[in-house]
Structure 1
Amino acid sequence: MNDIFQSVIEVLQQGQEAVFCGIVDSSGSAPRTSGARMLVLPDGSIRGSVGGGPVEGACQAKAKKLLHGNETHFLLSFDLTSVKAADAGMVCGGAVKVLLQRVTVKHLTFFEEIERLQRERERPVLLTVMQSEQVPALAVWTARDGLAGVNLPETLTTELARKAVKTRQSFSLEEDGLRVFAEPIIAPTVLHLVGAGHVALAAAKVAAFSGFEVVVMDDRSEFADAVRYPEAREVRVLENFEACLNDLGSDDYVVIVTRGHMHDRDVLAQALRTRAGYIGMIGSRSKRDAVYRSLLESGYTEQDLARVHCPIGLPIGADTPEEIAVSIVGEMIGVRAGLPA
């Protein structure tokens, strides 16, 4: 969704208008879940997606009318039965409701604030407040600053805060005809691959395909080569593995796959001093036990080591670098989704 916000800001900075489309309700096997976003630009082109097929086409057509009329918003409902979906070349059915909102220059400050909060890693929650006979309002909530842009009943505000800190998924709240649709805006999770050998090469491909931003680092320039890692956001050649991880937060994941136990041990020690949301180290149980003993002797605790996934990856019988990469990324996807370990 981050590209959508950047596109909105660019359009509004040019003094133009656009239509901000979002699925605010879905049931069955709808093609996109609640929280999917699409932007229809003044020239009719789109950014993002709300499911393709008839849904997207109808949204584009209605958005064009909004941009050339007086309406500020419109709620489109779609009943995509399996037959209708098949006729449209889609693989799933279900029901969705898409809210279309015309955004103008007056919304620029709001979207710039969303972007600022993202840069500061505040995990903002975009709120669409809908009430009968009123224009839907956009607002934002963060754990640090609370609610901004709209006043809500205290009960809804309390429930919003409770749910927002627990989930990455969109959710709705309702009270006395007032409906709040909440969309956590999560910055892309960054995978820091420490080591650039065969497993890292495969993991970078699978992780990038799964929506992770990839950073690769190694002290061997022939391995840490941007040509080998076209999917990576950054490839770093290190002088050594000392101080290669700094200031990581919960949206940073670390996978340690260096060429030696001592390098792994030193990188793991650095990772444990950060707030990284996932830390995985490749290796056998005997290697893990030796590394853990060394860290415990250095002052780390059992609680620290409980953060580490080692042996790394899901237990799927992985053997080749490609299979190991799938198991690692599968495990990270589970962590990212908030599934219990």
Structure 2
Amino acid sequence: MPEPHKEESPLAGPESPQARDARADPSAAVGGDFFEARVAALLEAGRKAVLLTVISRQGSAPRAAGTRALLTEDGFEGTIGGGALEARALEAARESLAAGISARVSCDLTGLSPESDMICGGSMEVLCEALMPQQAAVFALAAHVLRAGGSGVWTVDVSRESLPRRCLHLESLPREFAGLADSPAVRQGLEAAAPLLEKLGNKPGLLAGGDRAMYVEPLSAPPVLLLCGGGHVSLEVAALARACGFVVDVVDDRPEFSDPARFPMARRCVTLPGFEGLVEACGIGRRHYVAIVTRGHSFDREVLAQTLASHAAYIGMIGSRAKREQVYAALREQGVPDAELAAVRCPIGLPVGAESPQQIAVAVVAELLAARAGTLHRLRFEE
């Protein structure tokens, strides 16, 4: 890839700014925060909200279990797949919003009329969950756990579809939320939830038997894209990655290029002179995908040397093959083994012939999604 110069869903009402922010995928960070935080803020403000969740999928239905969207009095935020299924679910969700009563919606996509234009087949079931103000604290707790990089399990007993019972299971309760220790919506310890999640292969899904039905969903923080460098390419990558489910952090050695006003979609912007102490300053861990797009080869080399010593899930560096060999040669002289360098994706992005910052962003984010899905090795073509 050339190295750049360095230097539709139907609405239930008027679309709010929050809805515009969350339209692509509300399970990603909303305004730099998590979906759970968005829900908590709505409920704390006394706003009505219905949480739409795909709880089961069979066949070739468009979205998997765990896909979420929100309906508020301001409009619909997100999508659960569009088309006839979403229209049916939205109709039920509007009724739930008005009456405060939850519902489950099933849609057999193989049985729709030809006019529906839904030929993918399969079936989906959606829970339209009318949220209550008293649930605000539980969603706030979930957001707190996610910000801290923790995990847990959501369970929703949907045996009575009009009255689902949601519970958050955590290893331990953070001190700040000690007041929820006796809440029936919070359970300390994963003994009850972990076996259920294991039955589902650690993925969201519905377990049903007899007169009981339980939806189970892991609470796990989304991946973090750390953009090292805040130039033109990073701007485009940040916006697209954010829409595709990544939490975005930005770091640069220049304050004007790591300004939150420049990156409103970012969770965090860090100014780090010389990119020194990068791993510690940005907390790079196993959820991190690092894209190295600084303003110069020396900075790229410095950032790469540091991130190779981290536990990042993915490291990519922008630049030509000639630059790659120059940077790699310098790192080899510093004792970096070839095995570590071989894991770096450089030139970054799938080889689609991208040239403009917007095109490069598509190539980069496509590669990030492939890395996350485990399909990158098959898709990446090396000359």
TM-score with structure 1 setting the length? 0.74
Does residue 170 of structure 2 align to residue 104 of structure 1?
no
Query: Any conservation in 1 of the 2:112–2:118 contact (CA below 8 Å)?
Result: no
Q: Distance in 1 between matches of 2:96 and 2:295?
A: 54
Give the structure 1 partner of residue 237 of structure 2: 203
**What is the SS of the residue equivalent to 1:325?**
helix
Q: Distance in 1 between matches of 2:104 and 2:261?
A: 47
Q: Distance in 2 between matches of 1:136 and 1:21?
A: 12
> Quick one: which of 44, 48, 55 aligns to 2:88?
55
Q: Deviations over 1:8-64 (max 9, x none)?
A: 3234435676443322123355454322324444x5855444445522432234304
Q: Distance in 2 between matches of 1:63 and 1:132?
A: 15
Q: Distance in 2 between matches of 1:204 and 1:9?
A: 25
Query: Any conservation in 1 of the 2:55–2:65 contact (CA below 8 Å)?
Result: yes
Does residue 223 of structure 2 align to residue 181 of structure 1?
no
Number of residue pairs the alignment of both structures matches = 330
> Quick one: which of 164, 168, 171 aligns to 2:205?
171
How far residue 92 of structure 1 moved from its aligned partner, in angstroms, is 6.4
Letter in 1 for 2:229: G
TM-score with structure 2 setting the length? 0.67
**What is the SS of the residue equivalent to 2:275?**
coil
**What is the SS of the residue equivalent to 2:311?**
coil
> Quick one: which of 271, 275, 279 aligns to 2:315?
279
Letter in 2 for 1:183: E
Q: Distance in 1 between matches of 2:110 and 2:217?
A: 26
Please show how residues 233-252 of structure 1 align to structure 2 within 5 Å: 238-245=272-279, 246=281, 247-252=283-288
How far residue 254 of structure 1 moved from its aligned partner, in angstroms, is 1.4
Q: Distance in 2 between matches of 1:276 and 1:179?
A: 38
Letter in 1 for 2:195: T
Q: Deviations over 1:317-336 (max 9, x none)?
A: 44554443322211111122
How many percent identity over aligned positions?
36
Give the structure 2 partner of residue 74 of structure 1: 103
Q: Distance in 1 between matches of 2:334 and 2:340?
A: 12
Q: Distance in 2 between matches of 1:303 and 1:80?
A: 48
> Quick one: which of 117, 140, 145 aligns to 1:117?
145
Q: Distance in 1 between matches of 2:131 and 2:244?
A: 31
Q: Distance in 2 between matches of 1:109 and 1:228?
A: 32
Letter in 1 for 2:273: E
Q: Can you give the 5+ residue segments of structure 1 that lack an aligned partner in the other structure? A: none
Give the structure 2 partner of residue 20 of structure 1: 51
Give the structure 1 partner of residue 155 of structure 2: 127
Q: Distance in 2 between matches of 1:18 and 1:253?
A: 33
Give the structure 1 partner of residue 22 of structure 2: none
Report the CA distance shift for 1:326/1:159 in structure 2 as closer, same or farther (over 3 A).
same
Give the structure 1 partner of residue 299 of structure 2: 263
Letter in 1 for 2:305: A
Report the CA distance shift for 1:107/1:266 in structure 2 as closer, same or farther (over 3 A).
same
RMSD over aligned Cα, in angstroms?
Answer: 4.2
Greater relative contact order structure (CA < 8 Å, 6+ sep) = 2
Letter in 2 for 1:118: L
Does residue 187 of structure 2 align to residue 149 of structure 1?
yes
Letter in 1 for 2:371: V
